Structure formats: structure tokens, C-alpha cells
Chains A and B, each alone.
Chain A
Amino acid sequence: MFYEDFRVGQTADLGQATFSREAILAYGRRFDPRTVVRAADGGAPLAASGLHVAAAGMRRLVEARKALRAAMAARGETLPELGVSPGFKDMRWRRPVHEGDVVSYSMETVSKRETSKPKWGLIGNRFCGVNQRGEEVLEFSSVVLVARRAE
């Protein structure tokens, strides 16, 4: 989608990720050994690192965008150049994500702003993850550069 195609208030469903014991421990061993230590203690149930929950959501976003681009390509439309994100803020891990949980991700467009570069616009998003019981587990706000349609 081009900058012009985004509408404030619109929410896109991005799909789901299942958090297996193996995936939680693999991420933990590489990046957040606290996950592994807690699992070894045996007291609390295994919970995914908060940044793992966010990164799995990024994967869903990339896949959702790929599907949109494939559909555009099939219609013979010009594909927008991919932009990068300068960062995010206000990330909250509302509840732990445990082994076996399934998280559904969505992204709402909350703002649009043109930039000094005619090629790019800035889209503000609220990114959200909800578990299989309908409880919010993840939330953050981000901005991403999105290509504008050539005049």
C-alpha cells in the first residue's frame, strides 16, 4: 500500500503466532537468558521474552505486507518501495505469553504526516497483540516511512 491508501482509524489484522516451548527457549538462549533460568527453576510457567512477542508480531506484519504486494503485483499495479521504521515507543507487555499461547496481532493507523521528502510519508501505528482468551498481551506505537504515489 502507498501512503495515500492508509486511512486513520483503519485496523489491519496481521495474523497469529503460536509460542511453542522450543521457540520460547530458543529466543531466550540467544537473547534473554532470564527466560531459560526461570524455566529451569521450575516454579513459574515458561514465559516468552517481551521482545520475542514483539519480534513475532513484526514477522506477521512482514508476511501480511508481502501478501498485499503479491495481490498488487497480480493486478499489474506498481509496487511501493519498502521504507524503514525509525523506532517505536510506549511498548507494554500487559500479560505474560506462556508456552502454547496463540497471539493475534493487529495494527491500527493512528496518524499520517507528509515529510520534507516528496517520496515518503510517515504513518503512525498502534500495534497490538491479543492472546487466545482475548486478553491484550502487547501494545506499542510506531512510525514507518511509506512511499507516496508518484504524481
Chain B
Amino acid sequence: MTEALTFEDFPVDEIVEYGGVAVSADEIIAFAREFDPQPFHLDHEAAQAATGGLFASGWHTAALLMRMNCDAFLMRGAVIDESGIEDVRWQRPVRPGDRLHVRRSTLASRPRDRHSGEVEFLYEVVNQDGLIAMTQRSLVVFERRREPGGDRAD
């Protein structure tokens, strides 16, 4: 197994891009049926009248961001605490056929103690035209890297 990602792996001001997920009408409708059954997420015609066409629930876009974060780094992260989300802004509708990826910026990186440090991330969900559909700011507490031959016995 590859080494877990620690606090030191997320230097401040780093910007990385990853992910790539196509969003279909069927997926938009399936998510909305379960979690956000409003007409503009469910029905092409109702959406056309109100908002210029079917678009994904914001909770769906947020869930897709989480999936891309898991695949890119959270699954391998030595995460101690991730107890919330600072803010989310839905800036532009996600439509059927859109392809989304993530641009992640590290806004801050603060050691908490000898064993852990907090990282503040800004995630931008970007569509195929380079336009931002959603932003999210979150705090994640990671373990710090153990020094070789260091004094940690656990």
C-alpha cells in the first residue's frame, strides 16, 4: 500500500487539478428523485419553463466533488478530523452532458501540535468550458509525518 498523505503533503498556495466526471440527465434525475425532487431537477419541460432547462441539484454537485476528492486524495489521507464544510456556493447550473473536474487550492496550512495540522482547502468545480459551477471551502486535520527514527512509538 502506498504511504498515507500527511499534513506536509499539502503546502500552502499549491494548486492542483484532478477528476473528470460526465453528468448525464439520467443521473441528475435519479439523484433528485432521492434527495431533491424539485421540478427543475426532475423534468425537462418543467425545467425549461422555469430555468432554461434541467439542472443538477446542488447537493448532487457537492456529492460529485466529494467523490472526486476521495478518489484523488482523501482515501489516502491520514485524516484525523473533517467535521464540516465552511461554505459552499452554487454559482452556475450543472446541465446534462457537462463534464466536471476539480481545481484545489491550499489556502492555509497550520500545525496544531506535534502530531497534527489543519489544512484549509478551496475547491472549485469547473465545467468543460472552464467555468466555475460550484466552490467549497473546507478544513481537514491531517496527521503530521513521523520523523524517521523519531520518538513516536505508536
Contact = CB atoms under 8 A, between A and B. Distances in A.
A87 B40 CA distance: 17
A56 interface: yes
B70 interface: yes
A56 B35 contact: yes
B85 interface: yes
Contacts of A55: 34-36, 59, 63
Contacts of A81: 50
A53 to B, nearest CB: 11
Nearest to A56: B35
Interface string A85-110: 11111111110000000000000000
B58 interface: yes
Contact of B66 (A31, A62, A85): A31
A17 B105 CA distance: 35
Contact of B75 (A27, A34, A62, A94): A34
Contacts of A88: 85, 87-88
Interface in A5-60: 27, 30-34, 37, 49-51, 54-56, 58-59
A59 B75 contact: no
B86 A89 contact: yes
Given A37-B75, A51-B62, A82 B39 contact: yes
- Interface residue range, chain A: 20 to 34
Residue picked from A63, A82, A87, most chain B C-beta under 10 Å: A87
A56 B5 CA distance: 31
Contacts of A90: 84, 86-87
Contacts of A140: 85
Given A32-B67, A87-B89, A89-B86, A59 B50 contact: no
A109 B66 CA distance: 28
Interface in B32-83: 34-40, 50-51, 57-59, 62-64, 66-67, 70-71, 74-75, 83
Interface of B: 34-40, 50-51, 57-59, 62-64, 66-67, 70-71, 74-75, 83-90
